[in-house]
Every structure is written in C-alpha cells, then in structure tokens.
Chain A
Amino acid sequence: MTSAAAKPTPEVTDELRPFFAAAREGRLVVQQCRGCGRRRFPPREICSHCLGRQADWVASSGRGTIFSFNVMHQVYHPGFAAEVPYAVVLVELEDGGRMIANLVDCPLERLRIGLPVEVVFEARGPEVSLPQFRPAAA
C-alpha cells in the first residue's frame, strides 16, 4: 500500500507572509485598511472602499460563525482523496473579515450556518501552520 499523498502546502507569498508568520505562532491576523479601518481577508492590494494602498495586519479573536459552507465530494487533489466528503466553510469573524477553512472536530451532520466556531492551527508541512475552525467551546 502506498502512503497517502500530502495535502497541498500553500505558497508563502510576499502578500501572505505576515499571515503565515502569525499562524506559526498560533495567532490569526487579518488585513486592516489604514485609510478607513475596514478589516478584510484575503489580503488585497487596494481597499475597494477608500482606494487606500496602506494596510496593517491586526489580530483577530479567531472567533466567528459559519456564514456558508459546501461539502466537496470530488477529488481534485490526491491529498484530499481520503477526506471526501469534507466541508469547506466560510467563517465570518466576529471582529471583521471572512475566511474559508475546513471544519475540524465536528461531524458533517452538525454543520449549519450560524454555528459558532473558533480558530485552531493545523501543521501543513514543516513550514506552514494553517488556520482551521472547530465548534466553539460552549
């Protein structure tokens, strides 16, 4: 039997470097526009509200709710062959920004829009920690 293929490790681009650096330390950060203060994720070069170019990476509490989700049944990458069906969730962070992730420590039957979740970090390769979400502790 061959060993299971690894899930893809995201490329640490210049744009995402601060995000991954924080995640390595177990912190979730999102971008905040210096011009208008709006928070956003994923990062963007230009704020679509104020057209500002300057942004800072700021800490998020890592708490939020499921805004939407899908359940993937197709294998597009061998790293997910043992996972299907698996959920991709869109989390609305309580302090601003939305990000996709996978839901961990939660059966699919419990998954619903509005479910409170909190961030956890998954090691993905030697260099990268990936923010994931699990149902929030009651």
Chain B
Amino acid sequence: MTHPLRGQYAIAGLGLTPMGRAYDSAMGFAVEAVRLALADAGLERRNLDGLMLNPGLAWADAAMGSFALQQALGLTNLGYSLTMNIGGATAAAMVQNAALAIEAGLCTTVACVFSDAPLKPPKPDDDGKKQGGSAAAYGFARGLSAAYGQFGVNALYALVARRHMHRYGTTGDHLGAVAVAERAWANRNPAAQFHDAPLTLADYHRSRWIVEPFHLLDCCLVSNGGAAVIVTSAERARALRQPPVYVWGFGQGHPGGDPLDTLTSGAPLAKRTAFAMADIEVADVDVAEIYDCYTFTVLVTLEDYGFCAKGEGGAFVADAGIGPGGRLPVNTGGGQLSSFYMWGMTPVSEGVIQARGQGAARQAPKHDVVLVSGNGGILSTHSTLVLSPLPS
C-alpha cells in the first residue's frame, strides 16, 4: 500500500546567496536567501505562513532565531515557527517538519532556512599573518582534550576514520577518490568555490595534513552564505513557477552509542523509514547528495545506505566511481568539500537542482530518484529525503 504522504509535499522554491568569501551578517544572508527562494517559487512574503531556521555558528540569538528572522522579514500571522538544530542533519529534517506541519493544518507554505557568517572581511591593515594571541585568547583550552592537544571536530572524526581504515582496509587513496570526484563536479558548477581548480589524486596527497588521516582536502570548506527552500503541498507547488520537486519519502536515524564502536552513521535507521515511504530500493537511486563534512563521511554513508557492503565504501568510491561518468553520481555540485559549506543545505539544494534538471553542465542524465542525506555530530544524527521530479 502506498504511504499516504508519498509525493504529497514538494519543494517549490530554492534560494542560494553568494557563498564563501561573501560578506553579510548571518541575519542578512538568511533574509536574502528567503527573498531569493520566494522569487524562485513566484511567491510573495505574505504567502509564507511557516518559518523554520537552522542557525549557523554566527547567529547571535540562536535560541529565538526563527522569531528574530520573522521580525527581520516582516512576516505576520505565521502558523508555524521553529528553530532547530541537529547539526548537519537539520536541513533535510526541516523539510520533513515542514511537510508534517502542513499535513497537520498548521500552515501551508514554509520557508526552511540556514545561514552562517563565520568568515570576517579582511581588514585593510591585515598582512595576512596570524598574530600570536595572548594567554587570554586561549581561555578555551581548559579541558582535558586541550591538555592533550586535541582540538576541534576534525580530530574526533579522524579517530573514527582511523578505526575504519584498521577494520576494513580503507586507504588514503579511497578518501582521496572522494575529494577528486567532488572536485570534478565542482569544475562543472560555476557557483562552486573551487570551480576553477582541477584536482588529481596526486594533488590530494600533496595537500598538507590537518590531522592524520585527514589532509586539508579531506575536510569541508568554511563558507559564509544563506540557503532557503520553500515547502508546500504538491497541489500548490504545481501552480507555482518552478517544476515541483516531490518529496517521495523521508526519515531520520539517530543511533546514539559510540561511532568508534559501530563505525556506522544513522543512515541505516533513516533509510528504513524513508525508502519504505518512497517505495524504493537502493538500486533505484539515480543521484545521491550525501552529507560530506569529510571525504570519510561520504564513504561510510554510501556503505550505510547499502550502495555497497559494509566496509567496502573505499573500493566503491574508487572503483565504481562517484564523479562525472561514474556508476553513481554523488555530490554533483561539488559538495561541501569543493562547492560550499551550508551544513545540510548543501546536499538539499543540490538535490533540488538535480531533480529539476537544472544542473546544466553537471546535470546527471537520469534524475528520477534523488537521495539527499544529512549528518550531524560524529555520525550521530541523520536525516534522509527521497526527491523526484515525478509526482509518483
């Protein structure tokens, strides 16, 4: 029996501001992303009656973020407002919450928004060199991790990647294959931060180490920018300007436990719900937009969706191919490694572009079933969308 929500909701608008070293406030980027998404859909601000925000790190008042954004946008009479954060899984989860809120009759048309502005504009007197900070500047270094010189998320993911390499024989060439494939896609995407920079596997290995086993090119970009999508009913979406991107299925999976033991993301859990709703199997997926905070995350997530057996993600990305002309087009805009880093909005936005068939030089030839994944924490939270240009 067909799931009652399958294909009943659609993404009707997409707004992407300039990304990377573009400068605005987090609020400014969010407002601009909503304006662009409404224009894309052919809607006015007064048509919005739902607003969801995933605030990035630069949001001053993240706790009341959706309300602050509502005020900035001058929206009145919202039936639904939610500030949400489950890390990189938030964007795809916002689309799900929007559909559920519309289904429940709380609202009809929801903007789902992410923005961040971690990069500050260069100052005129900045010679580009970092100055040595005072002791007070290192007040963050008070815990045990700092005492051992372990700083940042890179180091934590590196521990998990090292276990995966130990247990399954994953290699640096495997990680590099993801970086090279995504760069090849970025070279076909004029909006990508690395559009003009080709990359070979040898270049990848020459890029400096950040924290072994990760080179610089294993790690996602840091970007300023804003992204928004408009979610509404399939019926309403058909009357709007853009071809509707139907949501065939969605799900979430938050496995808990220690990823160092499981070496597994939340994808198996999220997939179960999403693929059942969409009535698809993994072999039906034409394009995959996979959350890629690191090259490693792509490899492990592809395993967890069942594109290959557990532990064979390295061989899959290196042999089957995930770049242009490969067996499975993955992260066709260049992903967060080579295009821009908007947390889960990077895969969501590219999924919309591919489903619409608007990818131009990077368009996957077959795009009836587009898989989008989000991932947060250390493989801790996960969300799935199955998108399609076809209503059913």
Q: Which residues of A contact B (CB under 8 A)?
A: 7-11, 16, 42, 67-74, 76-80, 83, 85-86, 88, 90, 100-102, 113, 124, 130
Least CB distance, A79 to chain B, in whole angstroms: 8
**Residues of chain A lying within 8 A (CB to CB) of residue B260:** 67-68, 90
Count of residues in B whose CB is under 8 Å from the partner chain? 29
Is there contact, CB below 8 Å, between B159 and A76? no
Least CB distance, A3 to chain B, in whole angstroms: 13
In the assembled complex, the Cα of A11 lies from the Cα of B158 at a distance in Å of 26
Q: Chain B: which residue is nearest A42 at the CB level?
A: B144
**Residues of chain A lying within 8 A (CB to CB) of residue B213:** 70
Least CB distance, B204 to chain A, in whole angstroms: 16
Is there contact, CB below 8 Å, between B159 and A102? no
Is there contact, CB below 8 Å, between A88 and B148? yes
**Residues of chain A lying within 8 A (CB to CB) of residue B141:** 8, 76-77
Least CB distance, B138 to chain A, in whole angstroms: 6
Least CB distance, A117 to chain B, in whole angstroms: 14
Least CB distance, B238 to chain A, in whole angstroms: 48
**Residues of chain A lying within 8 A (CB to CB) of residue B152:** 76
Least CB distance, B368 to chain A, in whole angstroms: 40
Q: Chain B: which residue is nearest A71 at the CB level?
A: B212
Is there contact, CB below 8 Å, between B212 and A73? yes
Contact with A along B141-157 (1 / 0, CB 8 A): 11111111111100100
Q: Which residues of B contact A (CB under 8 A)?
A: 132-133, 138, 141-152, 155, 158-160, 162-163, 166, 208-213, 260
Least CB distance, A125 to chain B, in whole angstroms: 10
Is there contact, CB below 8 Å, between B146 and A10? yes
Is there contact, CB below 8 Å, between B162 and A10? no
Can you list 16 residue pairs at the A/B interface with Cβ under 8 Å? A8-B138, A10-B144, A11-B142, A16-B144, A67-B260, A68-B166, A70-B159, A70-B212, A72-B149, A73-B208, A76-B151, A76-B152, A83-B149, A90-B159, A100-B150, A113-B166
**Residues of chain B lying within 8 A (CB to CB) of residue A42:** 144
Number of A-B contacts (CB under 8 A): 88
**Residues of chain B lying within 8 A (CB to CB) of residue A88:** 148-150, 155
Is there contact, CB below 8 Å, between B149 and A102? yes
Report if A100-B209 is in contact (Cβ < 8 Å); known contacts: A70-B162, A77-B149. no
In the assembled complex, the Cα of A74 lies from the Cα of B209 at a distance in Å of 8
Is there contact, CB below 8 Å, between B147 and A10? yes
Is there contact, CB below 8 Å, between B144 and A73? no
Contact of A100 among B132, B144, B162, B212 (CB under 8 A): B144
- Top 6 nearest A-B pairs by Cβ distance? A71-B212, A70-B158, A76-B151, A8-B141, A10-B147, A73-B209
In the assembled complex, the Cα of A83 lies from the Cα of B151 at a distance in Å of 14
**Residues of chain B lying within 8 A (CB to CB) of residue A100:** 144-145, 148, 150
Least CB distance, A70 to chain B, in whole angstroms: 4
**Residues of chain B lying within 8 A (CB to CB) of residue A74:** 151, 210-211
Least CB distance, B147 to chain A, in whole angstroms: 4
In the assembled complex, the Cα of A100 lies from the Cα of B260 at a distance in Å of 13
Residue of A11, A70, A78 ringed by the most chain B CB atoms within 10 A:
A70
Is there contact, CB below 8 Å, between A78 and B142? no
**Residues of chain B lying within 8 A (CB to CB) of residue A130:** 147-148
Least CB distance, B251 to chain A, in whole angstroms: 24
In the assembled complex, the Cα of A68 lies from the Cα of B291 at a distance in Å of 24
Is there contact, CB below 8 Å, between B211 and A68? no
**Residues of chain B lying within 8 A (CB to CB) of residue A77:** 138, 141, 146, 149, 151
